Amino acid sequence: MARTRLTVTGTPVGDVELSVVSPVGTRRAHPLPLLVAHDGPEYSRRAHLLSRLRTATAEGRVPPTRVVLLEPGPRNERYAANPDWADTLARHVLPTVRTAYALDGRPTLMGASLGALASLQAEWRHPGTFGALFLQSGSFFRKRVDDEEDFEFWHRVTGFVSNVRRVRRPRTDARVVLTCGLDEGNLTNNRQMAQTLAASGHDVSFAELPGRHDWRSWESAFDPFLLTLLQGSGSPGSSSRRGT
């Protein structure tokens, strides 16, 4: 896969560094599906995202897909329910990528932990920007559920989660897939977020899988959940909370 580095300047959070990775043999003018990954370098290095996609593409399981690997920069400040980061993605990063590359349809946005939270907020603030969200072990903190009050952005995160819980009708038509490990602290708030989104009419599925809050567990969820999402054929496991 061919990799090109870009710097997006003039955003509300400062410069954003990213890499655009394209399948070999494709050109910028070729419209391809786009996958945007929070913590992109870590997803590539520690969860082997690019190699898993390359193999799935070779096997014909997913179409050739262009990938944006977002470098987090000051991660907690950006990802912890920061509306400026959501605006940066929708109004600066994606327009920059669209100017340089032809896209096929709306992008898929993914992230783990705070990256999952940031992914949901980006589409929540800018409905219709993304066609699908892949949210792994999201840090959907709630008062009386999570013992994270010492986290520096606790009130910002719990405030956003409370806003999501108050919605009574679909905010977005994006397909939303959540996964979470059975042995991690975020399991309860992920269950509740999935229930909240389903109750307000969103297209959502949730899979509880063996594993912890780590890159190995997140990688293990790619097949089938991320791969099925990228096929454009709907979310896997929509009739069951627990993945198999």
Give me the residue spans of the domains in the chain: 2-231
- List, for the chain, all residue ranges whose pLDDT scores fall below the cut of 70: 233-244
* CATH level 2 (architecture), domain 2-231: 3-Layer(aba) Sandwich (3.40)
Alpha helices by DSSP H, 73-222: 75-79, 83-88, 94-100, 114-125, 154-166, 187-199, 215-220
Q: Residue 143 CB: number of other CB atoms within 10 A?
A: 12
Contact between 53 and 108 (Cβ < 8 Å): no
Per residue in 150-185, pLDDT (tens digit) is 888 889 999 999 999 999 999 999 999 999 999 999
Contact between 78 and 13 (Cβ < 8 Å): yes
Q: At what angle do helices 114-125 and 154-166 cross, to 10 degrees?
A: 50
User: What pLDDT is attached to residue 239?
Assistant: 34
Q: How far is CA 211 from the centre of its chain?
A: 19
User: What pLDDT is attached to residue 240?
Assistant: 35
Q: What's the pTM?
A: 0.93
